[in-house]
Copies of this chain bind each other. A is one copy, B any other.
């Protein structure tokens, strides 16, 4: 019998700051902390939201269980009369991908963003009550990133006042939309609008795809699930689907007509609503993804940090409280710290840049609604870049956390495999990360070329106004402590970013055409974009620290995390900093020394720093990351639950093992 105890109590007692105050910083506000905490506990204590059995379920069982949970979520939301904020926290903590995610996250916003007031009055109540379930059908089998290449057509038939939705080729099949395969009754379908023989490009249409009576696909609609995806559990609980149309007719007024419409006579007319508003939706989705990245990474970091404090291996003999010799805690190895602590710092860094992006989005929408489009390109580039940067870093970071847990991280019960499998698609959806960085780099090149015309760069590119200084400035670091000065850090990152961009801009002029130059130099352009985006994260972290931060020792911990985040980036991208002359080799070596000393400073606080995420054991879903650190007995307990352990002698023994051992295979039917 194991004692019930907190195996990490000793670690917690070492913290040099107020965890409770840090929880509020992490949550963003006292209110956000209180609401999320209440809902998290509600979910964790309800057996209806159990999720520890997902990995062993077959596809059908998993899917059915997700259907049950989605219905149960909706039932509880209504029973408890939850506010919109509370409902969204509930869905978040239930942590199981299902059609509702797309319905609320993509379908409803698409109607709000692209439908006219009249259309919204018709469709939104139905969607808000879930009397219809919607999905968002854009991507096609042959067309992902290049939306302009979509092949599905919506041809206006003036005779009947209808659009004919059609999939002319196999590659035009809609492919990937979540909730489409088996559930959605309606879809916002993106198709080329053709009227009067002319192709007006891709527009959105609201199309019913299944009967509300018997759930059968409507005539002309072929729809199904696209098959298993990476991992057990993860995205397999949701029915990503394919969808093909064979001349399916919809009324003209199911074109989403906020920005442009087709008249009864088949004339294409643009409304006076600015198209730019549609970009706002893109900014919205991407800032959500940045927030998701910090959550996914912080979950993995929480698991790896706690387990690294529990796990012991090698090392000079220590003695525990009973005088028994024990091995060294894995977290005390510098190799472990140098991989794990920067990820902990990144989780906080991404959290704060996500918080700022949320503000940016609100600010942008206000401007757009006031017909001020001046900040849109910068906001768009910045959001695209941060989506790319944070999702790539989080995916790599989750994988690293998993390696940091050694072999046991590979067990489903560690929670890490599913966390990884469920997060990694974020690197591709809503814009492939490399494609997005190329967009950022194009914006940077444009900004640089406009410097000469005297146009002042704004927002996250404001530093580019100081190009002359940044091109020739020299880093002033002379001793390791100098690296703790935020303005020194900032200037090094600014110098690196602008020097890489300027070098690209200069090299581009050497090619016959800009197109050829962009093509040949694209790998360099991507690196310049990364440098720019890392600068944004660094500067927003530093700005956060300039705010009034309360709580005993809280600010000091955040400063240490910020130092680690920045200095580790310098170490990782040292080639950039040295080749651009932004810092010297000697200064790089001092940065490494300072980084090492920051790890030691952080060490006694790391368990408390992951506690501050305030994740319940239910939400974490990890035996290795348990709050109480009671890892080994629980791993053993989990193992027994595998279906293979249902019987002592496995199914298949009599047919396949016994005849082999008895050398009687020659007559066996196999």
On whether the beta carbons of A55 and B228 are closer than 8 Å, the reply is yes
A639: min CB distance to chain B, Å = 5
Instruction: Provide the residues of chain B in CB contact with A42, threshold 8 Å.
Output: none
Instruction: Provide the residues of chain B in CB contact with A215, threshold 8 Å.
Output: 649, 653, 657-658
Confirm or deny: A648 has a beta carbon within 8 angstroms of a beta carbon on chain B.
Answer: yes
On whether the beta carbons of A641 and B520 are closer than 8 Å, the reply is no
Query: Chain B: which residue is nearest A312 at the CB level?
Result: B142
A592: min CB distance to chain B, Å = 8
The majority secondary structure among interface residues of chain A is helix
Confirm or deny: A446 has a beta carbon within 8 angstroms of a beta carbon on chain B.
Answer: no
On whether the beta carbons of A520 and B596 are closer than 8 Å, the reply is yes
* Residue of A228, A235, A312, A575 contacting most chain B CB atoms (<10 Å): A228
- Contact string against B for A residues 627-670, beta-carbon threshold 8 Å, 1 for contact and 0 otherwise: 00000110110111111111011111101111111010110101
Confirm or deny: A176 has a beta carbon within 8 angstroms of a beta carbon on chain B.
Answer: yes
A46: min CB distance to chain B, Å = 11
Number of A residues near B (Cβ < 8 Å) is 143
Query: Chain B: which residue is nearest A420 at the CB level?
Result: B230
Instruction: Provide the residues of chain B in CB contact with A652, threshold 8 Å.
Output: 63-64, 67-68
Which of A289-297, A427-435, A608-616 is found at the contact surface with chain B?
A427-435
Tell me, in angstroms, the Cα distance from A655 to B578 when the chains sit together. 63
Confirm or deny: A6 has a beta carbon within 8 angstroms of a beta carbon on chain B.
Answer: no
Instruction: Provide the residues of chain B in CB contact with A399, threshold 8 Å.
Output: 399
On whether the beta carbons of A585 and B596 are closer than 8 Å, the reply is no
A395: min CB distance to chain B, Å = 8
On whether the beta carbons of A227 and B406 are closer than 8 Å, the reply is no
Confirm or deny: A403 has a beta carbon within 8 angstroms of a beta carbon on chain B.
Answer: yes
Of the residues B421, B579, B648, contact of A585 by C-beta under 8 Å: B579
On whether the beta carbons of B407 and A519 are closer than 8 Å, the reply is no
Instruction: Provide the residues of chain B in CB contact with A230, threshold 8 Å.
Output: 231, 410-412, 417, 420
Confirm or deny: A571 has a beta carbon within 8 angstroms of a beta carbon on chain B.
Answer: yes
Tell me, in angstroms, the Cα distance from A214 to B275 when the chains sit together. 74
* Residue of A182, A571, A651 contacting most chain B CB atoms (<10 Å): A182
Contacts A224-B642, A228-B642, A574-B578 aside, 17 further interface pairs with beta carbons under 8 A come to A48-B670, A60-B643, A60-B651, A67-B652, A78-B666, A133-B660, A141-B632, A146-B313, A225-B642, A231-B231, A231-B232, A239-B650, A333-B522, A338-B522, A339-B434, A407-B428, A575-B578
Q: Which residues of A contact B (CB under 8 A)?
A: 2, 48, 55-61, 63-64, 67-68, 70-72, 74-75, 78-79, 129-133, 139, 141-146, 149, 170-171, 173, 176, 181-183, 185, 212, 214-217, 224-232, 235-236, 239, 242, 312-314, 316, 327, 333-335, 338-339, 399, 403, 406-407, 410-413, 417, 420-421, 424-425, 427-429, 432-434, 438, 515, 519-524, 526, 571, 573-581, 585, 588-589, 592, 596, 632-633, 635-636, 638-646, 648-653, 655-661, 663, 665-666, 668, 670
9 closest Cβ pairs, A-B complex:
A574-B575, A230-B417, A228-B412, A64-B652, A58-B58, A338-B523, A578-B578, A225-B644, A67-B652
